[in-house]
Amino acid sequence: MLTRELLSQTLPYLRLQDKVYQALQLMNDNHVTHLPIVDGEKYIGIISEEDLLQADNDHAELVTLKQSFANTSVKEDEHFLKAVQLAAENGLSVIPVITDENELLGTVAYSDLLKHASEFMSLHEPGGLIVLEMESNQYSFNEISKIVETNDAQITQLNTSNDAGTGLMQVTIRINKPEVSDIVATFQRYEYNIKYFFGEELYANDLRSNYDNLMNYLKI
Q: How large a percentage of the chain has pLDDT more than 90? A: 60
Domain spanning 125-218, CATH architecture? 2-Layer Sandwich (3.30)
The 3 state secondary structure assigned to the chain is CEHHHHCCCCCCCEECCCEHHHHHHHHHHHCCCEEEEEECCEEEEEEEHHHHHCCCCCCCEHHHHHHHCECCCEECCCEHHHHHHHHHHHCCCEEEEECCCCEEEEEEEHHHHHHHHHHHCCCCCCCEEEEEEECHHHCCHHHHHHHHHCCCCCEEEEEEEECCCCCCEEEEEEECCCCCHHHHHHHHHCCCEEEEEECCCCCCCHHHHHHHHHHHHHCC
pLDDT in tens, 85-94: 899 999 999 9
pLDDT higher than threshold 90 for residue 114 = no
Q: Please give the average per-residue pLDDT across 122-130, as a whole number.
A: 75
Domain range annotation of the chain: 3-118, 125-218
Give 127-174 pLDDT, tens digit per residue: 888 999 999 999 999 999 999 999 999 998 888 888 777 889 999 898
Q: Which pLDDT band holds residue 33 (cuts at 50, 70, 90)? A: very high
Q: Which pLDDT score, from 0 to 100, does residue 218 have?
A: 60
pLDDT > 50? residue 40: yes
What is the tens place of the pLDDT at every residue in 43-69?
999 999 999 999 999 999 999 999 999
Q: Binning pLDDT at 50, 70 and 90, where does residue 177 land?
A: confident
Please check whether the domain covering 3-118 is classified as CATH 3.10.580.10.
Answer: yes
Q: Which residue has the higher pLDDT, 169 or 122?
A: 169
